[in-house]
Structure 1
Amino acid sequence: MTAAPRARSWGTAQLWWRVAIVAVCLLGLSSGNHRLVYFTVQSNVIVFAYYAGALYWMVRRGIPDAPAPRLRGAVTTWILTTALVSHVLLNEGASPLPGLMDADPAQALANQSLFLLHYVVPGMVLVDWLLFGPRRAVRWRDGLLWLIYPAAYAVVTLSRAIAFPTIADRFPYPFLNIDVLGLGGAVLGMAQVVAVIAVIAAGVIGLDRLSAVIGDGLRGVVARG
């Protein structure tokens, strides 16, 4: 690869938007006290790793498209799951904005860090998915594969809670709390969340299809003009 194509890749909106995703994700992960047991942290680590690798790929190949579009779809699904679970189940739909200016500086910093991980990073990844290609590279059945990681996370978390009853952060999320819900209730809660993730995955694929149709239409208008 010559220097010229590499230089051209630095002038694309795709590259700089993904640089911003990596920077915001790193800021959110490094500015709070986060434990890897939480799906929030894991999904943001995955976002950081994927987009950091994508930037390397884009610069090395001198192209605007990110690699492994099916993996990109999975990453988008998982980080949107983080946003939805946080806002609906944990915050019960309450606005996170007041907490950003908490009177306690340490608490304000913690809230700001979570705001980046729960809202800003998912929003930026969604924008990336909507605006940038490649298009039509994911299939509807790929959504089923994207459920494997969240389901495995829940199974491992429940197994950990049963095997180590005194461990810290035994139940990272209330719908996995077998002490309150019982094992059957926790499994049911897990199944409900996985079903919601399936809907998110279908939405991600549907948005890819819709963006492709809109892009084709815009290109047709430009060509006729």
Structure 2
Amino acid sequence: MGPLILRSAIVAALATGLLLGERLLPYFTSQSSIIALAYVVTTLVVTIQRRTSTPPAPRLRGAVTFWLLTTALISHILNNRGESPLPGLVVADPALAIDNWGLFLLHYVAPGLVLLDWALFGPHGIVRWRDTLLWLLYPIGYGVVMIARGALLPEINVRYPYPFLDPTLNGVDGMLLALLRVVVMLAVISLAVVALDRLSGFVSRRLTAPSIDPAAPPSTASAPSEVTDH
């Protein structure tokens, strides 16, 4: 599968997931998916125009990969408690099934395809470990804004998008402890994204390096012929 086909599949998964069901902007899933969709569409346009497979802004690409993986893992581990999403795709209620299909595309299919693109296609080795600090600013800032929004606007729709942001459930101390666990999880995910980039670059270099036959004798340069001055 080439990068053009894979990135087109990412666009299709993100766009379809956003259109199926009700996607409210306060949710991190909606925001990160819109950002990812904009980036991948831009990547397709730029790479087609330049006739190259190298995507623009590789550090932003790393951030987008991290944010979508954050969406996937938090949804699966914290929201769904590790349960399989597949039964929700075949529920009797058609409207609920459509909504579940949309979430499945955003929480599983699109992040998986983006991760595959990150691993298979370069450039590798450009993102740095300290870039993860910048990547973390968005999800951490999102959490702070959502908590402040819910506290200042108690009557607003979707007051706290996620349970771990809601201080009314387990108190402020419980919320802070839950947030700490989430931040640690995010830090691990971001480091794993960079580590995968390093590993992919290493494997790519090994596969493209010229092979050397250890049994072949070392090449010796012929000595220059002696010139005799007559």
Give TM-score, length-normalised by structure 2. 0.89
Could you tell me which residue of structure 2 aligns to residue 51 of structure 1?
40
- For residues 47-196 of structure 1, the aligned pairs below 5 Å read 47-196=36-185
Write the deviation string for residues 166-213 of structure 1: whole angstroms up to 9, x where unpaired. 111111111111111223332332232122111001000000000111
Write the deviation string for residues 23-58 of structure 1: whole angstroms up to 9, x where unpaired. 110000011111010011111111101101111111
Q: Which runs of 5+ in 1 are unaligned?
A: 1-11
The answer on 1:210 being equivalent to 2:196 is no
Q: For the residues of structure 2 that align with 1:210 and 1:87, how far apart are their CA atoms? A: 25
Q: For the residues of structure 2 that align with 1:75 and 1:140, how far apart are their CA atoms? A: 15
Letter in structure 1 aligned against 2:117: D
Q: How many Å apart are 1:217 and its aligned residue?
A: 1.0
Q: For the residues of structure 2 that align with 1:137 and 1:55, how far apart are their CA atoms? A: 20
User: What SS is found at the alignment partner of 2:92?
Assistant: coil
How many pairs does the alignment contain?
213
Q: For the residues of structure 1 that align with 2:29 and 2:23, how far apart are their CA atoms? A: 9
- For residues 20-35 of structure 1, the aligned pairs below 5 Å read 20-35=9-24
Letter in structure 1 aligned against 2:187: A
Q: How many Å apart are 1:223 and its aligned residue?
A: 4.5
